């Protein structure tokens, strides 16, 4: 099946620094990628939808200047948490939509990134 690689799997950083998370589709072209956030014992919450070559669409309440998304190619999207604070500590998960089947909305998930801000 399709593989989505997310890196790093875990990151610990100091408050005020920026952290970049990468999401790659390894064996298919992802015209659309999604970024989710998940707090303990809660479900995934969509943060933004990223389309290759265009600006990301952010969900209500998500600060676009705080969470920078770049989708420069059909296989790579990045999420940068800028000036991270302890409240940004969470589990971030990306997913990629397989663009080969136009009528398909199948998404494949990355393994997630555990961000801990000290």
Partner 1 sequence: KNQVEQSPQSLIILEGKNCTLQCNYTVSPFSNLRWYKQDTGRGPVSLTIMTFSENTKSNGRYTATLDADTKQSSLHITASQLSDSASYICVVSHSTDSWGKLQFGAGTQVVVTP
Where does this chain bind partner 1 (CB under 8 A)?
A: 4, 6, 32, 34, 41-46, 49, 57, 91, 93, 95, 97, 105-112, 114
Q: Which is nearer to partner 1, 20 or 91 (CB)?
A: 91
Per-residue buried b or exposed e for 59-82, using 16+ beta carbons within 10 Å of the residue's own CB: eeebeeeebbbebeebbbbbbebe
Residue 113 neighbours by CB under 8 Å, 6+ apart: 6, 7, 8, 9, 10, 11, 21, 91, 92, 93
> Minimum distance from CB of 16 to partner 1 (Å)?
26
Q: Which is nearer to partner 1, 29 or 57 (CB)?
A: 57
> Minimum distance from CB of 82 to partner 1 (Å)?
23
> Minimum distance from CB of 110 to partner 1 (Å)?
5
């Amino acid at each position: 099946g399709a593989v989505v690689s997310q890196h790093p799997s875990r990151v610990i950083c100091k408050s005020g620094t920026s952290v970049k998370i990468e999401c790659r589709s390894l064996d298919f072209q992802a015209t659309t990628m999604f970024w989710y956030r998940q707090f303990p014992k809660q479900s995934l919450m969509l943060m933004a939808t990223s389309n290759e070559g265009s600006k990301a669409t952010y969900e209500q309440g998500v600060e676009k200047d705080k969470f920078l998304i770049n989708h420069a190619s059909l296989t790579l999207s990045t999420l940068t948490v800028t000036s991270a604070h302890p409240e940004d500590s969470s589990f971030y998960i990306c997913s990629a939509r397989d663009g080969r089947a136009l009528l398909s909305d199948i998404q494949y998930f990355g393994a997630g990134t555990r961000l801990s801000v000290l």
